Chain A
Amino acid sequence: MVIVSVAMLILFCMIYLIPGDPAAVALGPRATDAMREGLRIKMGLDKPVWVQFWNFFFAAWQGDLGRDVLSDRLVATVVMEQLPYTLALIFGGISWSVALGIPLGCWAAVERGTMADRIVGVLSVAVIAVPSFVVAIYALLIFAVALRWLPAIGAGEPGDIGDQLVHLILPSLAVGLGWVGYIARMVRASMLEVLESQHIRTARAFGLPERMITYRYALTIAILPTVTLLGVGIGQMLSSAVFAEIVFARPGVGKLVYDAILTRNYPLVTGAVLVTTILFVLLNLLADLIVGALDPRVRSRL
């Protein structure tokens, strides 16, 4: 609640400080001064700043994010239409990073000091260093344009889940690839720490098989910091999602905000960013809940 409110305040100030008149943009160059003034009054832009903020704030808490300046549709509706695409992209990115990062990190920890460990280490740093839009562009060029294995643009036929998933592969890879590196490093480090702990020594002294010790006794603990990291990392993924949506010409909240900024469609910008902030907070909460579900020590503190 507090986070969302503060975000709303910051957002409002930022939008207010951007030069340019939304009413002028909305009506186009051929509008008369009177028409612009009329729209400004309708949008509440003639009121003092704090009144504008209060109106925005109050309405937003009730779910009213205003109307899209261009199409005059409800902002909430427009954003909600795009939200599933972005959510799919984020979860796709998380799936890539978890599906590749955890096994790689675990493997590197078990094989520590070997060539395999070193290769994973170098790869991790490499994928972290490459910005996601570069990944997006190269993935597009290699797999979609040169090899033609996967579709290049769009989100797939509405209603056709298979087609949509195929269209999701490359953009979500662009969002998640850097995270493969983060997670691999994180899991490796915490695995090494956990493997040193006393209870692992006890498990060995009880003659448990090494596989059981690695996966059930150590990895279950070593992934906990990763879940927390992912929760915080959602913000970064949301920003990568903007690039991925633009490069792959996918619908989504990122693309929506980008287009809205270009056209100074402020209610849409504020609305979309606000929804994203709420999403960020909710996904963080989800990460905490997952940690609680995995760690009985945390669970009993909740």
Chain B
Amino acid sequence: MTVLSIKDLNVTFSTEGGRLHALKDVSFDVPERRIVGVVGESGCGKSTLINAILGLLADNGRVDAGSITFEGEDLTRLGPARMQELRGQRISTVFQDPMGALNPVLSVGRQMRNIQYRSGRSRSEKDARSEAMLRQVRIPDAQAALARYPHEFSGGMRQRVAIAMALMMRPALLIADEPTTALDATLEVATIELLRELQQDIACSVLFISHHLGVIAELCDDVVVMYAGEVVERGTTRQVFHTPRHPYARRLLECDPARQSGRTRHLPTIPGEIPDLRQRPPGCVFATRCDQRVDACDKVPPDVAVETGHVARCVLAEAR
């Protein structure tokens, strides 16, 4: 069973310099109970992807084509009321910045109670639920923590509070947008452990966005590699990390020999720049930085299935 299935998704933003094609023909699945990692340089469209799923694209953005099927419903066609109903209940999100992600003037307990506003439970039932959730993310003295404000917690604790809030309604899908980028290495490991544990407990799927290849390799079942708004390669973690087929994925991974356990917290840098998304190149989007390009690259490369579930968007993928 797939929980989330994205097919040929295209998202554009209207800007002063014309339409910016932020996501182009993006397709991948998030199967039930699996953790799917998304990697890519900053600006490659990871946040846009999340916002499109959540129905929270900026006012100047829109879905031009494609579908986002979640538990049988196409999210791109749902009205705002139904979308709002799904958010926080069936699809929940943990954001990168634990400092700014919680409301500074409302107590943690109040914010957790508000998230349950739809549940029809009484106030004390809601608070009991919040407390249990805080205990589950190992916040010490959970009952007292409800009365405290976000600034009274450390960065790591705050991120755990945010995770508790996100998982409060036992969603089917948890989206984690670089949840550990702002934390130091020790806290990162602890947070990843916690996420995995909770994912097993709640039996949800996770869409995990990160710059950290080591964490992706360790945590994720599947990987999606994005470049300039396109999914250039996707497959199981094993397939992508062991036999990367797209030149971009290969370049990312070869920089890091001990990759699975590597401590590189940032993506390796590759010479060159992402093309201007307002004027996409007519052929392969990676052509300007690719060291293996051939004449055929002037045409849009196909999605090549190199193995079951392992797909690369490169003309050379087939030949190998």
Partner-B contacts on A (CB < 8 A): 197-199, 201-209, 212, 216-217, 220-221, 294-297, 300
Q: Is the CB of A205 within 8 A of B56?
A: yes
Going nearest first, the 8 A-B pairs with the smallest beta carbon separation are A207-B88, A207-B87, A206-B88, A198-B100, A205-B93, A296-B149, A202-B101, A199-B103
**Contacting A217 at CB < 8 Å: which of B95, B106, B149?**
B106
Contact A206 B162 (CB under 8 A): no
On whether the beta carbons of A205 and B88 are closer than 8 Å, the reply is yes
Roughly how many angstroms separate A199 CA and B268 CA in the complex, as a whole number?
30
Contact with A along B151-190 (1 / 0, CB 8 A): 1100000000010011000000000000000000000000
> How far does the Cβ of B89 sit from chain A's closest Cβ, in whole Å?
6
Q: Once the chains bind, are A202 and B102 in contact (CB under 8 Å)?
A: yes
* A208-B117, A297-B149 as given contacts; A198 in contact with B89, CB under 8 Å: no
- Please report which residues of chain B, range 95-114, place their CB below 8 angstroms from some CB of chain A when the two chains form the complex: 95, 97, 100-107, 114
Q: Is the CB of B93 within 8 A of A202?
A: yes
B100 and A205 form a contact (CB under 8 A): no
Residue pair A209, B84 in contact (C-beta under 8 Å): yes
A198-B101, A202-B102 provided; 13 other pairs, C-beta below 8 A?
A202-B162, A205-B92, A206-B115, A207-B84, A207-B118, A208-B115, A212-B117, A216-B106, A296-B107, A296-B152, A297-B151, A300-B151, A300-B152
Assess the A202–B95 pair: CB atoms within 8 A: yes
Those of B17-63 within 8 Å (CB) of chain A? 54, 56
B86 on interface, CB distance cutoff 8 Å: yes
Q: Give Cα distance in the complex from A300 to B150, angstroms.
A: 12
Name the contact of A220 in the complex, choosing from B84, B100, B105 (C-beta under 8 A). Answer: B105
The minimal Cβ–Cβ distance linking B308 to chain A, given in whole angstroms, is: 34
A205 and B95 contact, Cβ closer than 8 Å, known pairs A198-B100, A199-B101, A217-B106: yes
Q: Which of B86, B87, B102, B114 contacts A199, CB < 8 Å?
A: B102
Question: Are A199 and B92 touching (Cβ within 8 A)?
Answer: no
Instruction: Fill in one digit per residue for B71-94: 1 if any A CB lies within 8 Å of its CB, else 0.
Output: 000000000000011111100110
| A189 vs chain B, min Cβ distance (A) | 18
Bound form: Cα–Cα A20–B102 in Å: 64
Please pick, from A198, A208, A221, the residue contacting B114 in the complex, using a CB distance under 8 A.
A208
List residues of chain A with CB within 8 A of the CB of B117: 208-209, 212
Q: Do the beta carbons of B88 and A221 come within 8 Å of each other?
A: no
Give every chain A residue within 8 A of B86 (Cβ-Cβ): 207
Q: Which residues of B sit under 8 angstroms from A202, Cβ to Cβ?
A: 93, 95, 101-103, 162
Residues of A within 8 A of B114 (CB): 206, 208, 212, 216
Q: For the complex, count residues of B whose C-beta is within 8 A of A.
A: 30
Measured CB to CB, the closest approach of chain B to A139, in angstroms, equals 37
How far apart sit A205 and B115, CA to CA, in the bound complex (Å)? 10
Contacts of A216 in B (CB 8 A): 106, 114
- What 1/0 mask marks residues of chain B from 127 to 169 whose CB sits below 8 Å from any chain A CB? 0000000000000000000000101100000000010011000
Tell me the dominant secondary structure on chain A's binding face: helix
- B residues contacting A by CB (< 8 A) are 54, 56, 84-89, 92-93, 95, 97, 100-107, 114-115, 117-118, 149, 151-152, 162, 165-166
CB within 8 Å for A199 and B149 given contacts A205-B88, A205-B93, A208-B114: no
- Name 17 A/B residue pairs within 8 A (Cβ), A-sorted: A197-B100, A199-B100, A202-B101, A207-B84, A207-B85, A207-B89, A208-B88, A208-B115, A212-B117, A294-B105, A295-B104, A296-B152, A297-B104, A297-B105, A297-B149, A297-B151, A300-B149
Residues of B within 8 A of A205 (CB): 54, 56, 87-88, 92-93, 95
Q: How far is the CA of A204 from the CA of B107 in the complex (A)?
A: 17
Q: How many Å lie between the Cα of A30 and that of B302 in the bound state?
A: 110
**In the complex where A199-B100, A212-B117 touch, is A204 in contact with B87 (Cβ < 8 A)?**
yes
Given contacts A198-B95, A297-B149, contact A206 B165 (CB under 8 A): yes
Query: Residue of B at shortest CB range from A299?
Result: B149
Nearest A residue (CB) for B83: A207
- For B93, what are the chain A residues with a Cβ–Cβ distance below 8 Å? 202, 205-206
- Complex Cα distance A37/B165, Å? 81
Contact B103 A296 (CB under 8 A): no
Which chain B positions have C-beta within 8 A of A197? 100
Minimum CB–CB distance from A52 to chain B (whole Å) comes to 51
A216–B56 alpha-carbon span in the complex (Å): 20
Q: Contact check, B56 vs A296: say whether CB atoms are below 8 A apart.
A: no
Residues of B within 8 A of A221 (CB): 103-105
State in angstroms the CA–CA spacing of A199 and B25 once bound together.
Answer: 30
Q: How far does the alpha carbon of A294 sit from the alpha carbon of B92 in the complex, in Å?
A: 29
What residue of chain A has the Cβ atom nearest to residue B115's Cβ?
A: A206
Contact B103 A217 (CB under 8 A): yes
Closest B residue to A295 by beta carbon equals: B105
